[in-house]
């Protein structure tokens, strides 16, 4: 993999010999690395992938991934911290075989994983209760440009007719809706008028509705979406749900906004039980948040107070940086490596908008 052309461009060269292993030192950095499991099985008939690491917000088992790939004919065992998968007759050119896969939950990454495996499987695969995120549809567009035969991506039922091989292509990925949401939240907290270039309203309908209720005005422009706020926020109740509901990735930003909003908001996390771990860090900054299990009650305070805090995961880390924008004094967020994974020059972009943020080495 290497850079080419404009910043953000990548060129991927496939080596003559592909080693079907994702080692611990890579996978530990990001749980989503498990999505290489399906493509490796489809391409080489074998895969050895370290059990995931990455963001620290609770137990996220990969059973749903393994169940889907098992339905296509793969078999798995866990050995010394690695998931090892094999396709029948892998050494003799054996392939995965299309089947009906019913997800018990519309997992985004499991849908990606099985979809990528299914495009090279023999016959037809039908994914039921598939994830509907825009990124799934974008991946399907990418695979289709490579020669895959996919219909229904972006709906709960995806049908795939397997092909023998894929061809190289050029693809422009869709804008990152969670990055856009981060800057909308920054405007809501600190006030201001910002245009997020290329942001797409139809990818975040429910989020924009909630932001509007909180006092952030979002409007369409020729460039993207414009966010305007005077920094005075109103509390709302929020529940995370699979797409098109409010994404769990948005929640740390919304909780941070509620922490300085007028009134009381109740937040319900329906996806990941451990994704309130950053709440203790917001409390260190003076937030009035009481949480138990899947619920949190957030009573807005007039002002947060700068403090040293730790980023437990990518989005929580970004939310703590945003909290620092409206806190008295200095806020130091450690664990910034999490934030670096999801944002290009986050500190620089905030600084360009008028914030005083510095990315410190280490």
- Cα Rg for the chain, rounded, in angstroms? 22
| The pLDDT of residue 7 | 78
pLDDT in the model for residue 201:
97
State the pLDDT at residue 57: 37
pLDDT at 60: 53
**pLDDT value of residue 16:** 85
Q: What is the pLDDT of residue 272?
A: 76
pLDDT score of 274: 61
Q: What pLDDT was estimated at residue 54?
A: 44
pLDDT tens digits for 56-85? 434 457 899 999 999 999 999 998 889 999
Q: Name residues of the chain where pLDDT drops below 50.
A: 54-59
pLDDT value at position 119? 98
**Residue 175, token pair as written in the block:** 């804008």
pLDDT of residue 28: 80
């Amino acid at each position: 993999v290497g850079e080419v052309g404009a910043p953000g461009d990548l060129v991927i060269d496939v080596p003559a010999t592909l080693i079907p292993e994702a080692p611990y030192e890579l996978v530990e950095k990001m749980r989503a690395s498990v999505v290489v499991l399906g493509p490796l099985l489809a391409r080489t008939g074998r895969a050895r992938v370290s059990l995931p690491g990455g963001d620290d917000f609770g137990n996220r088992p990969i059973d749903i991934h393994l169940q889907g790939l098992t339905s296509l004919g793969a078999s798995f065992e866990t050995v010394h911290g690695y998931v090892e998968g094999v396709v029948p007759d892998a050494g003799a050119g054996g392939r995965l075989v299309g089947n009906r896969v019913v997800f018990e939950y519309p997992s985004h990454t499991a849908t990606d994983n099985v979809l990528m495996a299914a495009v090279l499987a023999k016959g037809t695969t039908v994914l039921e209760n598939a994830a509907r995120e825009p990124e799934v549809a974008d991946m399907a567009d990418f695979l289709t440009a490579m020669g895959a035969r996919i219909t229904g991506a972006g709906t709960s039922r995806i049908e795939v007719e397997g092909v023998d091989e894929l061809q190289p292509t050029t693809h422009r990925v869709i804008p990152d809706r969670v990055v856009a949401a981060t800057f909308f939240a920054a405007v809501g907290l600190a006030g201001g008028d910002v245009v997020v270039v290329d942001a797409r309203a139809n990818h975040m309908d429910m989020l924009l509705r909630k932001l509007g209720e909180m006092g952030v005005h979002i409007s369409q422009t020729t460039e993207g979406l414009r966010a305007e706020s005077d920094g005075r926020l109103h509390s709302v109740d929020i529940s995370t749900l699979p797409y098109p509901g409010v994404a769990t990735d948005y929640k740390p930003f919304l909780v941070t906004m509620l922490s300085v909003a007028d009134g009381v908001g109740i937040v319900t996390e329906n996806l990941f039980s451990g994704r309130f771990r950053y709440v203790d860090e917001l409390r260190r900054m003076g937030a009035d948040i009481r949480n138990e299990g899947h619920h949190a009650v957030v009573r807005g305070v007039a002002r947060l107070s700068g403090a040293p805090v730790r980023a437990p995961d990518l989005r929580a880390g970004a939310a703590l940086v945003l909290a620092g924008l409206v806190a008295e004094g200095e806020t130091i967020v450690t664990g910034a490596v999490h934030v670096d994974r999801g944002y290009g020059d986050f500190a620089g972009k905030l600084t360009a908008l008028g914030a005083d943020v510095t990315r410190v080495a280490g």
